[in-house]
């Protein structure tokens, strides 16, 4: 459908001028018309915009951030903004990395977004896993802070961007990224303050050097109580999926979510149970390793609720017996939910 055909359809929607939440999917050729329609919704507070790029359309990616930059009056009314860019495999990964990263930075430097409480900028597609999306140098200090922003989800955060966010977004409570956890650039010199309000963090793994700087991590992220791990397809020898980093870096953790497989538990199982204060555990499995799982559960003396996402065609958990384990067990999944949420299907009763 071209832009000319799209406009009358959007205008014909009932009560469209009074809606407060909108989720819309557009192609690059429809962005200008679509954005004019979005601007006409006077009471809009939450916008979820998905843009689907195909073939050689990556040259148009910059239009998205420019649209938001050039429409300040409308943008300043938004409280929540979610941007999702979907690319097909025909994209050149190097060009994609450059365009996506530059577009993300343009959004973060847009003063019109300073009143947002939630901002998401995600990328999806077969070619996304081919690059890490790193910056080449530190960003200029922000001219203003996003003091209202409490929830942030970005497809990449490297050490330069982490340093920028620590200054730009001091009141974050939730931070999610597809990247591995890194410390901010030049954090050791004491010029960057910690995320003192941040309690929920989603990452794909850890920079290997963090084990040597655990005190710095605990100072920078002192109040994280919920950690969500979702393994990225990006491979890099500087990163690790070793779960033993978790209690070392986050000693106050009470809620642990493994939303994908691929994490290594061998070293975690050798740590004393006194380091593990987890009260809730969500774990995703396709091949149930009963022995390792039970060993892990035995390491958790404070566990109250265990959520098992067992993705197996047989849809059962044969051989999995806990008896009177002292905590509740639920079958769950994380389909179509936000970063730190999941669906509880049913409680599993062991006799």
DSSP 187-226: GGGS-S---TT--EEEES-EEGGGGGGHHHHHHHSTT--E
Q: Around Cβ 78, how many Cβ atoms within 10 Å?
A: 20
Cβ atoms of 331 and 310 closer than 8 Å: yes
Integer Cα distance of 327 and 265 in angstroms: 21
Q: Specify which residues 176 forms β-bridges with.
A: 153, 202
What mean pLDDT is predicted for residues 281-308? 87
Considering the chain, what percentage of its residues have pLDDT values greater than 70?
81
Polymer length in residues for the chain: 351
- pLDDT greater at residue 228 or residue 86: 228
pLDDT reported for residue 316: 53
Q: What mean pLDDT value characterizes the chain?
A: 83
What mean pLDDT is predicted for residues 236-262? 93
DSSP at 178? S
Question: Given a cut of 70, is residue 90 above it in pLDDT?
Answer: no
pLDDT category of residue 33 using cuts at 50, 70 and 90: confident
pLDDT reported for residue 102: 79
Cβ atoms of 79 and 45 closer than 8 Å: yes
pLDDT reported for residue 21: 93
Question: Given a cut of 70, is residue 118 above it in pLDDT?
Answer: yes
Phi then psi for residue 34, to 5 deg, are: -60, -40
pLDDT reported for residue 92: 59
What mean pLDDT is predicted for residues 310-317? 58
Integer Cα distance of 118 and 45 in angstroms: 11
Question: Given a cut of 90, is residue 199 above it in pLDDT?
Answer: yes
- pLDDT greater at residue 91 or residue 13: 13
Q: Around Cβ 54, how many Cβ atoms within 10 Å?
A: 13
Give the contacts of 239 (CB within 8 A, at least 6 positions apart). 180, 205, 206, 207, 208
pLDDT category of residue 83 using cuts at 50, 70 and 90: very high
pLDDT reported for residue 317: 58
pLDDT category of residue 14 using cuts at 50, 70 and 90: low
DSSP string for 37-49? HHHT-TT--EEEE
Q: Around Cβ 286, how many Cβ atoms within 10 Å?
A: 11
Burial (CB count <10 Å: 0-12, 13-18, 19+), residue 60: middle
Integer Cα distance of 60 and 30 in angstroms: 11
pLDDT reported for residue 217: 96
- pLDDT greater at residue 18 or residue 221: 221
Integer Cα distance of 272 and 275 in angstroms: 6
What mean pLDDT is predicted for residues 175-203? 90
Question: Given a cut of 90, is residue 180 above it in pLDDT?
Answer: yes
- pLDDT greater at residue 240 or residue 235: 240
Which of 157-161, 296-300, 302-306, 322-326 comes out lowest in average pLDDT?
Answer: 322-326
Question: Given a cut of 50, is residue 312 above it in pLDDT?
Answer: yes
What mean pLDDT is predicted for residues 206-213? 92
Question: Given a cut of 60, is residue 45 above it in pLDDT?
Answer: yes
Integer Cα distance of 64 and 351 in angstroms: 56
pLDDT category of residue 129 using cuts at 50, 70 and 90: very low
What mean pLDDT is predicted for residues 285-314? 82
Cβ atoms of 133 and 158 closer than 8 Å: yes
Integer Cα distance of 87 and 100 in angstroms: 10
Please state, in angstroms and as integers, the Cα–Cα distance from residue 336 to each residue in 170, 208, 209, 333, 343, following that order.
29, 31, 34, 9, 9
- Indicate yes or no: pTM above 0.85: yes
pLDDT category of residue 293 using cuts at 50, 70 and 90: confident
Considering the chain, what percentage of its residues have pLDDT values greater than 90?
44
């Amino acid at each position: 459908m071209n832009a000319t055909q799209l406009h009358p359809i959007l205008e014909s929607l009932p009560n469209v001028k009074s809606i407060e939440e909108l989720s819309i999917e557009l192609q690059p050729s429809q962005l200008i018309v679509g954005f004019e329609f979005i601007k006409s919704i006077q009471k809009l507070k939450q916008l979820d915009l998905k843009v689907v790029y195909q073939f050689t359309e990556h040259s148009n990616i910059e239009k998205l951030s420019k649209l938001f930059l050039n429409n300040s009056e409308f943008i300043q009314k938004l409280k929540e903004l979610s941007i999702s860019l979907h690319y097909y495999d025909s994209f050149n990964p190097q060009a994609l990395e450059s365009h996506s990263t530059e577009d993300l930075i343009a959004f973060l430097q847009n003063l019109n977004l300073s009143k947002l409480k939630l901002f998401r900028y995600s990328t999806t597609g077969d070619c996304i896993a081919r690059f890490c999306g790193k910056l080449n140098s530190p960003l200029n200090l922000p001219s203003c802070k996003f003091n209202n922003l409490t929830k942030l989800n970005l497809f990449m955060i490297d050490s330069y961007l982490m340093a920028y966010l620590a200054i730009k977004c001091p009141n974050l409570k939730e931070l999610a990224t597809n990247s591995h956890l890194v410390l901010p650039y030049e954090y050791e010199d004491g010029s960057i303050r910690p995320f003192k309000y941040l309690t929920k963090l989603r990452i794909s793994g850890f920079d290997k050097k963090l084990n040597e700087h655990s005190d710095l991590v605990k100072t920078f992220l002192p109040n994280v109580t919920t950690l969500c791990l979702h393994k990225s397809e990006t491979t890099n020898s500087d990163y690790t999926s070793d779960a033993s980093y978790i209690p070392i870096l986050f000693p106050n953790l009470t809620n642990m979510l493994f939303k994908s497989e691929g994490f290594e538990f061998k070293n975690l199982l050798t740590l004393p149970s006194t380091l593990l204060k987890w009260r809730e555990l969500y774990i995703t499995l396709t091949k149930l390793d009963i022995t390792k799982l039970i060993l892990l559960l035995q390491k958790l003396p404070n566990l109250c609720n265990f959520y098992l996402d067992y993705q197996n065609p047989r849809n059962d958990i044969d051989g999995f017996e806990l008896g009177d384990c002292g905590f509740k067990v639920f079958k769950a999944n994380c389909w179509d939910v936000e970063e730190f949420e999941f669906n509880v299907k049913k409680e599993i009763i062991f006799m």
